[in-house]
Amino acid sequence: MGVQPKIAPSMLSSDFANLASEAQRMLDCGADWLHMDIMDGHFVPNLTIGAPVIESLRKHTKAYLDCHLMVTNPLDYVEPLGKAGASGFTFHVEVSKDNWQELVEKIKSKGMKPGVALKPGTPIEEVYPLVEGHNPVEMVLIMTVEPGFGGQKFMLETMDKVCALRKKYPSLDIEVDGGLGPSTIDAAASAGANCIVAGSSVFGAPEPAQVIKLLRKTVEEAQQ
């Protein structure tokens, strides 16, 4: 497989009062990306951060800011997040069935990498047109918990989607998010996920660097 392992600690589990130093700590521990959960209180019940926080963090880091938009109107966020310095912009297929081509074009025009996410209950077939379109997304994020809150239990049944996706698109970046850690990484890696979002399992660990190293090694071994 020609896809690189990317470990993306979820900053939702960090100390938001010290976001810049928490981001640096994760990079020092070996993180590839920083995963930023943007929730609008509407598509999901929780409300988190927006473009102003991304912009503030961007002043302190050159890291890849992997933004996951759990919002009802992703189009409204493209321009502000592009300006703020977001690196990746992943929107939900559930809210973008009608305008995804316009959305992907806009995301790319602002210099961000487009991705599409789907909830555990959404059939994987719904993202195929977005991967195969003339202007395709560059990553698919498979939620392994219901989006909206950190610390939930990993849903093993979502791995069938990862398998189907990897079989169909050998060189696609496939991200998994929710309940990932040392006890669930084997299932995700062997199914074919290469981008791993981990929140409490990394931030709650006595040695976050060891957890990040283990996640990466498991993905690398599964690819061999």
Q: What's the angle, vertex CA 86, arms to CA 82 and CA 89, rounded to 5?
A: 85
Annotated binding site for substrate: 10, 68, 148-151, 179, 199-200
Annotated binding site: 10, 35, 37, 68, 148-151, 177, 179, 199-200
Active site residues: 37, 177
Q: 86 near 34, Cβ under 8 Å? A: no
Annotated binding site for a divalent metal cation: 35, 37, 68, 177
124: how many CB neighbours lie within 10 A of its CB? 18
Q: 90 near 68, Cβ under 8 Å? A: yes
Structure tokens at 51: 């473009």
Helical segments of 60-174, H only: 75-84, 100-109, 128-132, 159-168
170: how many CB neighbours lie within 10 A of its CB? 11
Q: 61 near 86, Cβ under 8 Å? A: no
Q: 93 near 130, Cβ under 8 Å? A: yes
Q: 78 near 54, Cβ under 8 Å? A: no
